[in-house]
């Protein structure tokens, strides 16, 4: 069975900033108060000279080069090869939050109810039952389209073939996202900068070599002892062993 | 018992269920055919979840929805892709319906007031006790003050019909709805122009001028959605609004028009259309009455004149008129909905209607279309009794020129009650409506309640109105209810029927209002009028629609295809002249302006602002501001004030300010923004909640407290934007 | 259907309307009582499944109702009216006229 | 043959030792398996992959957490129950290092263990030291140092582990706490590494080194031969011998 490459194609200019997708997502995924799996950038506009204003819906971009996966120490976050989504295994997640900082889109948050990192997974549970992601099915203007890019007959594949589409990626971090924007995408700013947490870097750069050295040295010592034991089975204290009362020694 | 989708949904079954409706294809991808997805671990939707149709009740739009139920609990509400009126969508409010169902603030059992009115001291009653008491009070008040001495109010609910029925059976003419707070001026204006209230065919419009409406925030199906689709198909949207709404943000052109000058712009557009011969000559000649009079009438209303009134530049008005003329007949002045703005709102909307008539867009694609009746019956017929000792008419009769006898006017009825003129009204029953929050001049509403001998309120939560009641009855929420059918219309989208079956078991002691009405009827010897079940009522409604019930159970919606355009070919218009009346003969006969006359509106003094109110896509007035999900989007309201004005008053963003009008005062945090004009301040509806038993209590300010209760002189519609306020940085 | 029934009523009026004394009916009766009386006096026959055509105020315009009632005693069904007092006729007329299809507040579906 | 046995470990002591050993073994191997990140995994990705294939990803963490919590709780009970009888004396002993004697022992013993007596004597000569390895107490200096490191390591592991546990299940505060958790992971890893290093030596000494074989068996029986005690822990033996002769 061919692998899927699930993606969203978003027609941002048709977004009304009605918050339907945010509400639908929150209910569908039990997202705790104050946290959101998806967003509308450029919402609640101040008055602008240019019109029409473009609101830009978004969510986790299920990147092909996910920095969050790189930052996860436990492998709880991984790229699902079957459908291309970036997944969080909640039982494996230790809630360290390294992936939060590592995501250049701020797509991740700490689910305070569950104590784990959380983010959009294209509504994996709904998809199991043949339902579209909640944000997609609820969207009044159907700004959000969802499907499999590997399926040439899917709506998203057709849209990408027929239209110019851009990805609104964070310039500082190249992640190859899987959300495509049709037409004028709207805001391009990202308030978040991806970074690896200090502790993570310390681990990677310093702690890891040091630990390896310590364990290595111990190992070497033990090996030496073992070698000696094998090589010199009859090692005994010299005759002037003094206080050592060797008499009884076997 | 019929329960629409009561079987466990297999994957295949689900595909069938959500297969997109044929017409949806035309809408550029509201195709919700489901894509198979990879199986992944999850805990939310367990296998075997049930999908049941319901009809959303988070606002008046009545969108068909699918409830996903697990272990008897609603987990999620999804849009019904086959429901074309909503274009298969469910908005943020619709999604938040789940939270409302399980809201900890819900009323659990009947409560009797034991302290002073509004003091919040209650005693729990059993239903029998509560109903006995209510019946006794109704009987006593009916006998003492005639049956018109008991007033009934019901909001836009699928069971409201039973309250009207009860009122008729009981013998009171005094029934109120929310409509005199909302739309009757617009209804009046279009009825008195076209002989009926049109439905805009937004989907196929090529040009739309929107004034007095905020369709991208105050969602109306299908208009809000179709407007975007139409824009994608090339429609030009021009918005005039004193406030930079999201509709303005999405418009191609936006003009911050001076409030209460819409009529001036509209008359000037008519002026240009006629002067430059841009109107639809053939249509106007054939179908309208009074072009000559109109031509003469708008002669002095030049764009230059209108520019001074509206602050919309003359060349813009000319340009818009020309663009409208070029795009006609698929060009429209959006008729709008809420028109509770000014003393002359009917005439303002008449001006909208007249320009539409000049554009010849009536009964044509992309214009204003005629109502399409789906053929839903009236249910079990009512043999309305007549009580000889009743007064001749409603208590508010005659207080405005052309009121609707079914709707009346809350504002005028309240005045009449307070004056006890022409007769006293001493009992009040309110269902699914919250006048304490929504009706201008809250102090007066409170006074009206004070002079009542018995106030009974039925609602899902302790609303501000319930807080003022003597007896509070817990209502079932829509997900628990079996409701009659409701007919829906929406231009090209539909003429359809929806109905509601219970999705979950009722919680606590909550009951449907039908049951309460029936119980009361039995106690008042009016049982014969309620001698049926809701199912029987529904079957009677559907008797002329074979196959409807099956369609409703299978698809959640029943359509009755009918002609959309050209409905009036060979038909007369239901007006006095039997034509579209540019010149309204009846108005002339009654001494009203037969064509809209612009009278310089009162303007705020130098230290005053005009207060305008409105809502957005996450707030349905007061019914949703306590919703825990929607509250996250909008925890409170703010007073929008222009930076120039704020600077003069020393107000900075986030400052607490006092807003005061002759009606009352409120304290609220300022939002300093150039999204409102320097002469206009804005507040959202639904905050400043009195009732401490609602989560929204203590958040923001209440519009009802500061709005002045003026009214539209023709329809009796509340005129809320005639309110001038002072704003000061002053501690509470 | 309604349209046809209205047309038939009109045709009958034209055929049978003689030169009898036109009653100068003003629509100032009690229309609420008229609604009740209309049901009591007229709907016995003028209803679906009954001997005469179904009838409602919105079947006709105000002008048509006015003409119909200008000489109601000449109506073909007048002999079936029994003894309806003139005051009641006035009330019924007020109801029908006041809620005619082109009236300011047309009756809602029955 | 003089096979008089001397009691070296109580039953409780033996239990806690093996309990601890089992826990650490599981914790080490599941913990290592939890690191599934090519940048961090010291053994290579095959290791966590293999473990996950057996236990499933989530199972691994659950085992790790369950064992860690059990380990901590049992220790707490043990410490409280044996506070004055064992814990305080133990702490007092392992944290008392006599610089001269113990330093000398460390150098000599390490050389002897790795290179043999001759080499040790050879190296000691220029320093003016004899080949005699200084007499030791109940614990020799090496054991003391190892115990200190293990104790400290265990403490750090427990504390950082608790922070991580809190991170998963109780965290409410946002980033400040998250930084704590992130450092906790790194420190947890370091502590595990260091203790593992010591553990290697300990295991070798106890289970592999021939000369310590009696000590190994004593971790089952509780007793060591008198001869072994006198040889390896002269000072302790003397103490015990006096006590016994007193009787």
pLDDT in tens, B254-278: 999 999 999 999 999 999 999 999 9
Enumerate the H helices of B146-215 as residue ranges.
160-170, 184-194
The pLDDT value recorded for residue B492 is 78
- Chain B residue nearest residue C62, CA to CA: B576
Q: Which chain C residues are Cβ-neighbours of B572 within 8 angstroms?
A: 61
Q: Which chain C residues are Cβ-neighbours of B578 within 8 angstroms?
A: 61, 102
Q: Spell out which chain B residues touch chain C, with contact meaning CB-CB distance below 8 angstroms.
A: 173, 191-192, 195, 377-378, 381, 383-386, 390, 392-393, 402, 404-406, 572, 574-576, 578, 586
Chain A closest-CA separation from residue B37 CA (Å): 5
Judge whether residue D74 has pLDDT over 90. yes
**Hey, how many other C-beta atoms are within 10 angstroms of the C-beta on A51?**
16
Strands A86-88 and A77-79: antiparallel
Q: Which chain B residues are Cβ-neighbours of C87 within 8 angstroms?
A: none
E-only strand ranges, chain A: 6-10, 38-41, 56-59, 77-79, 86-88, 109-111, 116-118, 144-148, 165-166, 179-182
Angle, alpha carbons D50-D56-D60 (nearest 5°): 85
Token reading at D214: 């009696």
> Is there an interface between A and C (3+ Cβ pairs < 8 A)?
no
The per-type count for chain A, helices as H runs and strands as E runs, is 8, 10
> For residue A206, what are the contacts with CB-CB under 8 A and spacing of at least 6?
none
pLDDT band at B18 (very low <50, low <70, confident <90, very high): very low
pLDDT band at B290 (very low <50, low <70, confident <90, very high): very high
Residues B620, B59 contacting (CB under 8 angstroms): yes
Contact C32 B192 (CB under 8 A): no
Residue A246: alpha-carbon gap to chain centroid: 64
The pLDDT value recorded for residue B45 is 61
> Is there an interface between B and A (3+ Cβ pairs < 8 A)?
yes
Find the helix or strand (DSSP H, E) in which B632 lies: helix B630-633
Judge whether residue A44 has pLDDT over 80. no
By the 10 Å C-beta count (0-12 exposed, 13-18 middle, 19+ buried), D51 is classed as: buried
The pLDDT value recorded for residue D5 is 77
Q: Which chain A residues are Cβ-neighbours of B671 within 8 angstroms?
A: none
CB half-sphere exposure, D23, CA atoms < 13 A? 21
D contact test, residue of A222, A240, A245, A247 with most D CBs within 10 A: A222
What A238-246 contacts at long range (C-beta under 8 Å, 24+ apart), as own/partner pairs, is: A238/D117, A238/D118, A238/D121, A238/D131, A240/D130, A240/D131, A241/D131, A241/D132, A242/D130, A242/D131, A242/D132, A243/D132, A243/D135, A243/D234, A244/D132, A244/D133, A244/D231, A245/D230, A245/D231
Q: Which residues pair with B494 in a beta bridge?
A: B490
Strands B175-176 and B150-154: parallel
Predicted confidence (pLDDT) per residue in D157-201, tens digit: 999 988 888 777 655 555 456 778 888 889 999 999 989 988 888
Q: Which chain B residues are Cβ-neighbours of C65 within 8 angstroms?
A: none
Could you tell me the maximum CA-CA distance found in chain B, to the nearest angstrom? 73
The pLDDT value recorded for residue B633 is 95
- Chain D residue nearest residue A92, CA to CA: D58
Judge whether residue C40 has pLDDT over 80. yes
Distance CA D9, CA D224 (A): 9
pLDDT band at C24 (very low <50, low <70, confident <90, very high): low
Of these ranges, A35-44, B101-110, D179-188, the one predicted with the greatest mean pLDDT is: B101-110
Neighbours of chain B (3+ CB pairs under 8 A): A, C
Residues B343, B600 contacting (CB under 8 angstroms): no
Residues B638, B668 contacting (CB under 8 angstroms): yes
Contact B252 A29 (CB under 8 A): no
Give the residue among B561, B636, B688 at the shortest CA–CA distance from B84: B561
Could you tell me the maximum CA-CA distance found in chain D, to the nearest angstrom? 69
Q: Which chain D residues are Cβ-neighbours of A213 within 8 angstroms?
A: none
Strands B64-70 and B73-79: antiparallel
Contact A127 B35 (CB under 8 A): yes
Contact D181 A218 (CB under 8 A): no
Predicted confidence (pLDDT) per residue in A205-229, tens digit: 888 888 888 888 888 888 887 887 7
Domains along the sequence of chain B with CATH: 11-101 (2.20.25.90), 134-195+382-475+515-525 (3.40.50.740), 198-370 (3.40.228.10), 609-728 (2.40.40.20)
Distance CA B628, CA C70 (A): 63
Contact D231 A249 (CB under 8 A): yes
Q: Spell out which chain C residues touch chain B, with contact meaning CB-CB distance below 8 angstroms.
A: 30, 32-33, 35-37, 39, 61-62, 101-102, 104-106, 108-110
Give the residue among A121, B194, D231 at the shortest CA–CA distance from C106: B194
> Is there an interface between D and A (3+ Cβ pairs < 8 A)?
yes
Contact A207 D189 (CB under 8 A): yes
> What is the ipTM metric for this complex?
0.86
Contact D182 A112 (CB under 8 A): no
- Residue B329: cis peptide before it, omega within 30 degrees of 0: yes
Q: Which chain B residues are Cβ-neighbours of A34 within 8 angstroms?
A: 632
Q: Taking the CA atoms of chain B, what radius of gyration do you get in angstroms?
A: 25
Token reading at C81: 């009216």
Residues B523, B131 contacting (CB under 8 angstroms): yes
The pLDDT value recorded for residue B43 is 43
> For residue B519, what are the contacts with CB-CB under 8 A and spacing of at least 6?
B127, B131
Strands A109-111 and A116-118: antiparallel
Q: Which residues pair with B363 in a beta bridge?
A: none
**Hey, how many other C-beta atoms are within 10 angstroms of the C-beta on B225?**
32
Q: Please, which residues 69-88 of chain D have a Cβ atom closer than 8 Å to chain A?
A: none
pLDDT band at A249 (very low <50, low <70, confident <90, very high): very low
Q: How many CB pairs under 8 A join A and D?
A: 187
**Hey, how many other C-beta atoms are within 10 angstroms of the C-beta on C35?**
22
Chain B closest-CA separation from residue C65 CA (Å): 13
Chain A closest-CA separation from residue B644 CA (Å): 15
Instruction: Tell me whether A193 touches chain D (CB under 8 Å).
Output: no
Strands B111-113 and B122-124: antiparallel
Q: Which chain D residues are Cβ-neighbours of A76 within 8 angstroms?
A: 57
SS3 D154: helix
Contact A16 B251 (CB under 8 A): no
> For residue D195, what are the contacts with CB-CB under 8 A and spacing of at least 6?
D24, D149, D150, D153, D154, D157
Find the helix or strand (DSSP H, E) in which B465 lies: helix B464-467
pLDDT band at D236 (very low <50, low <70, confident <90, very high): confident
Task: Please report where in the chains the tokens 């009797």 appear, as a residue.
Answer: B112
Angle, alpha carbons B540-B541-B544 (nearest 5°): 85
Q: Which chain B residues are Cβ-neighbours of C107 within 8 angstroms?
A: none
Residues B374, B498 contacting (CB under 8 angstroms): no
> For residue D103, what are the contacts with CB-CB under 8 A and spacing of at least 6?
D141
Contact B11 A130 (CB under 8 A): yes
Of C32, C61, C110, the CB nearest to B173: C32
Judge whether residue A245 has pLDDT over 60. no
- Chain B residue nearest residue C44, CA to CA: B383
- Residue A97: cis peptide before it, omega within 30 degrees of 0: no
The pLDDT value recorded for residue D136 is 73
Q: Please, which residues 112-141 of chain A have a Cβ atom closer than 8 Å to chain B?
A: 121-122, 124-132, 134, 137-141
The pLDDT value recorded for residue A161 is 94
- Chain A residue nearest residue B48, CA to CA: A129
By the 10 Å C-beta count (0-12 exposed, 13-18 middle, 19+ buried), B729 is classed as: middle
Residue B584: alpha-carbon gap to chain centroid: 27
Of A96, A197, A222, the CB nearest to D201: A222
Contact A212 D167 (CB under 8 A): no
Contact A98 D182 (CB under 8 A): yes
Q: Please, which residues 132-161 of chain D have a Cβ atom closer than 8 Å to chain A?
A: 132-133, 135
Judge whether residue C15 has pLDDT over 90. no
Q: Which chain B residues are Cβ-neighbours of C101 within 8 angstroms?
A: 574
Judge whether residue B203 has pLDDT over 90. yes
Instruction: Tell me whether A166 touches chain D (CB under 8 Å).
Output: no
Strands B471-474 and B199-200: unpaired
Of these ranges, B457-471, D98-112, D130-144, D197-211, the one predicted with the greatest mean pLDDT is: B457-471
Chain A closest-CA separation from residue D237 CA (Å): 13
Judge whether residue B26 has pLDDT over 90. no
> Is there an interface between B and C (3+ Cβ pairs < 8 A)?
yes
Instruction: Tell me whether D174 touches chain A (CB under 8 Å).
Output: yes
SS3 A150: coil
Q: Which residues pair with B475 in a beta bridge?
A: B511
Of B191, B378, B405, the CB nearest to C109: B378
The shares of helix, strand and coil residues in chain B, as percent rounded to the nearest 5, are 35, 20, 45
Instruction: Look up the CATH number of domain C2-98.
Output: 1.10.760
Q: Which chain A residues are Cβ-neighbours of D181 within 8 angstroms?
A: 94-97
Residues A117, B6 contacting (CB under 8 angstroms): no
Give the residue, A143 or D135, on which the prediction is more confident.
Answer: A143
Contact C104 B574 (CB under 8 A): no
The pLDDT value recorded for residue C110 is 44
E-only strand ranges, B252-334: 253-255, 288-289, 331-333
């Amino acid at each position: 069975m061919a692998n899927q490459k699930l993606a969203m194609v978003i027609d941002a200019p048709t977004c009304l900033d009605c918050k339907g997708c945010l509400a639908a997502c929150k209910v569908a995924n039990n997202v705790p108060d104050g946290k959101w799996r998806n967003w509308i950038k450029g919402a609640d506009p101040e008055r602008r000279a240019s019109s029409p204003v473009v609101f830009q819906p978004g969510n986790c971009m299920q990147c092909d080069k996910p920095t969050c996966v790189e930052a996860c120490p436990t492998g709880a976050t991984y790229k699902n090869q079957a459908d291309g989504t970036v997944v969080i295994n909640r039982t494996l997640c230790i809630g360290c939050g390294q992936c939060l900082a590592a995501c250049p889109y701020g797509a991740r948050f700490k689910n305070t109810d569950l104590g784990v990192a959380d983010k959009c997974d294209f509504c994996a549970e709904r998809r199991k039952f043949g339902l579209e992601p909640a944000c997609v099915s609820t969207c009044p203007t159907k700004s959000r389209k969802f499907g499999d890019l590997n399926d040439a007959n899917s709506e998203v594949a057709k849209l990408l073939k027929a239209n110019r589409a851009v990805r609104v990626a964070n310039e500082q971090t190249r992640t190859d996202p899987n959300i495509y924007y049709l037409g004028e995408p709207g805001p391009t700013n990202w308030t978040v900068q991806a970074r690896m947490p200090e502790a993570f870097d310390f681990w990677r750069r310093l702690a890891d070599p040091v630990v390896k050295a310590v364990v290595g040295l111990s190992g070497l010592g033990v090996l030496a002892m073992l070698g000696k034991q094998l090589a010199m089975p009859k090692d005994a204290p010299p005759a002037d062993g003094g206080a050592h009362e060797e008499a009884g020694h076997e | 018992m019929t329960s629409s989708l009561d079987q466990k949904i297999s994957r295949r079954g689900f595909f069938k269920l959500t297969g997109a409706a044929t017409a949806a294809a035309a809408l550029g991808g509201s195709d919700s055919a489901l894509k198979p997805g990879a199986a992944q671990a999850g805990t939310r939707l367990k296998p075997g979840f049930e999908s049941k149709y319901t009809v959303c009740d988070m606002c008046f739009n009545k969108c068909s929805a699918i409830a996903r139920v697990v272990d008897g609990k609603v987990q999620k509400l999804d849009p019904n892709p086959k429901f074309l009126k909503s274009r298969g969508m469910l908005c943020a409010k619709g999604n938040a319906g789940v939270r409302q169902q399980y809201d900890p603030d819900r009323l659990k059992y009947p409560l009797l007031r034991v302290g002073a009115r509004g003091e919040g001291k209650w005693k729990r009653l059993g239903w029998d006790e509560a109903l006995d008491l209510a019946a006794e009070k109704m009987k006593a008040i009916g006998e003492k003050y005639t049956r018109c001495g008991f007033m009934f109010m019901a909001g836009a609910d699928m069971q409201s019909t039973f309250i009207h029925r009860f009122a008729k059976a009981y013998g009171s003419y005094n029934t109120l709805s929310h409509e005199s707070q909302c739309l009757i001026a617009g209804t009046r204006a279009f009825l008195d122009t076209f002989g009926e209230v049109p439905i805009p065919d937004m989907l196929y419009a090529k040009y739309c001028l929107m004034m007095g409406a905020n369709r991208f925030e105050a969602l109306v199906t299908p208009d809000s959605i179709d407007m975007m689709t139409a824009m994608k198909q090339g429609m030009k949207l021009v918005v005039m609004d004193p406030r930079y709404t999201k509709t303005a943000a999405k418009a191609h052109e936006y003009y911050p028009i001076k409030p209460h000058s819409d009529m001036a712009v509209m008359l000037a557009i008519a002026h240009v259309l006629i002067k430059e011969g841009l109107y639809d000559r053939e249509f106007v000649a054939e179908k309208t009455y009074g072009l000559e009079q109109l031509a003469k009438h708008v002669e002095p209303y030049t764009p230059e004149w209108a520019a001074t009134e509206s602050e919309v530049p003359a060349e813009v008005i000319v340009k818009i008129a020309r663009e409208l003329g070029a795009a006609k007949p698929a060009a429209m002045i959006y008729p709008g909905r809420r028109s509770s703005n000014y003393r002359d709102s009917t005439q303002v909307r008449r001006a909208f209607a007249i320009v539409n008539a000049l554009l010849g867009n009536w009964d044509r694609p992309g214009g204003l279309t005629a109502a399409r009746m789906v053929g839903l019956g009236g249910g079990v017929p009512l043999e309305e009794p007549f009580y000889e000792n009743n007064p001749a008419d409603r208590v508010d009769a005659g207080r405005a020129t052309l009121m609707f006898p079914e709707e009346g006017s809350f504002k005028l009825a309240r005045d009449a009650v307070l004056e006890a003129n022409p007769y006293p009204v001493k009992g009040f029953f309110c269902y699914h409506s919250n006048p304490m929050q929504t009706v201008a001049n809250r102090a007066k509403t409170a006074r009206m309640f004070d002079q009542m001998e018995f106030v009974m309120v039925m609602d899902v939560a302790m609303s501000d109105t319930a807080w003022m009641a003597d007896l509070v009855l817990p209502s079932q929420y829509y997900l628990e209810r079996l409701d009659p059918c409701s007919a829906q219309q929406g231009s090209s989208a539909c003429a359809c029927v929806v109905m509601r079956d219970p999705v979950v078991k009722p919680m606590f002691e909550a009951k449907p209002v039908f049951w309460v009405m029936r119980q009361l009827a039995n106690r008042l010897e009016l049982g014969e009028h309620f001698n049926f079940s809701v199912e029987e009522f529904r079957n009677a409604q559907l008797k002329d629609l074979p196959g409807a019930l099956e369609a409703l159970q299978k698809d959640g919606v029943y359509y009755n295809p009918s002609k959309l355009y050209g409905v009036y070919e060979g038909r007369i218009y239901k007006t006095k002249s039997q034509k579209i009346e540019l010149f309204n003969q009846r108005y002339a006969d009654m001494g009203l302006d037969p064509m809209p006359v612009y009278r310089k509106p009162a303007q705020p003094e130098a230290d005053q602002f005009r207060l305008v109110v409105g809502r957005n896509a996450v707030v349905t007035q007061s019914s949703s501001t306590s919703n825990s999900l929607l509250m996250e989007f909008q925890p409170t309201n703010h007073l929008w004030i222009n930076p120039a004005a704020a600077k003069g008053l020393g107000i900075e963003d986030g400052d607490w300010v006092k807003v005061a009008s002759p009606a009352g005062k409120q304290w609220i945090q300022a939002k300093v923004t150039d999204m409102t004009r320097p002469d206009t301040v804005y507040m959202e509806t639904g905050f400043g909640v009195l009732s401490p038993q609602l989560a929204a209590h203590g958040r923001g300010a209440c519009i009802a407290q500061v709005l002045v209760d003026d009214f539209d002189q023709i329809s009796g519609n509340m005129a809320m934007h005639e309110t001038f306020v002072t704003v000061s940085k002053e501690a509470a | 259907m309604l349209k046809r029934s209205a047309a038939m009523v009109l045709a009958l009026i034209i055929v049978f309307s003689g030169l009898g004394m036109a009653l100068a009916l003003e629509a100032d009766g009690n229309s609420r009582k008229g609604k009740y009386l209309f049901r009591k006096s007229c709907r016995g026959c003028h209803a679906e499944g009954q001997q005469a055509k179904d009838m409602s105020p919105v079947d006709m315009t105000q002008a048509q109702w006015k003409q119909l009632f200008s000489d109601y005693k000449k109506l073909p069904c007048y002999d079936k009216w029994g003894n309806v007092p003139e005051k009641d006729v006035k009330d019924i007329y007020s109801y029908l006229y006041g809620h005619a299809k082109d009236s300011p507040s047309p009756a809602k579906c029955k | 043959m003089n096979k008089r046995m001397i009691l070296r470990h109580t039953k409780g002591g033996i239990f806690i030792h093996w309990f601890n050993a089992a826990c650490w073994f599981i914790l080490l191997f599941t913990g290592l398996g939890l690191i599934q990140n090519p940048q961090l995994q010291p053994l290579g990705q095959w290791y966590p992959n293999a473990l996950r294939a057996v236990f499933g990803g989530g199972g691994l963490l659950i085992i790790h957490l369950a064992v860690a919590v059990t380990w901590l709780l049992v220790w707490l009970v043990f410490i409280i129950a044996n506070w004055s009888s064992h814990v305080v004396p133990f702490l007092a002993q392992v944290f008392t290092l006599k610089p001269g004697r113990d330093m000398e022992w460390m150098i000599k013993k390490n050389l002897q263990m790795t290179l043999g007596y001759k080499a040790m004597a050879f190296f000691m000569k220029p320093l003016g030291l004899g080949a005699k390895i200084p007499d030791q107490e109940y614990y020799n200096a090496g054991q003391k140092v190892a115990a200190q490191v293990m104790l400290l390591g265990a403490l750090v592991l427990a504390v950082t582990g608790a922070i991580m546990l809190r991170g998963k299940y109780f965290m409410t505060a946002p980033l400040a706490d998250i930084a704590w958790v992130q450092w906790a992971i790194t420190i947890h890893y370091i502590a595990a590494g260091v203790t593992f290093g010591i553990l290697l030596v300990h295991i070798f000494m106890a289970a592999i080194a021939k000369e310590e074989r009696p000590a190994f068996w004593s971790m089952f029986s509780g007793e060591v031969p008198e001869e072994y005690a006198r040889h390896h822990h002269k000072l302790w033996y003397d103490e015990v011998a006096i006590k016994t002769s007193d009787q």
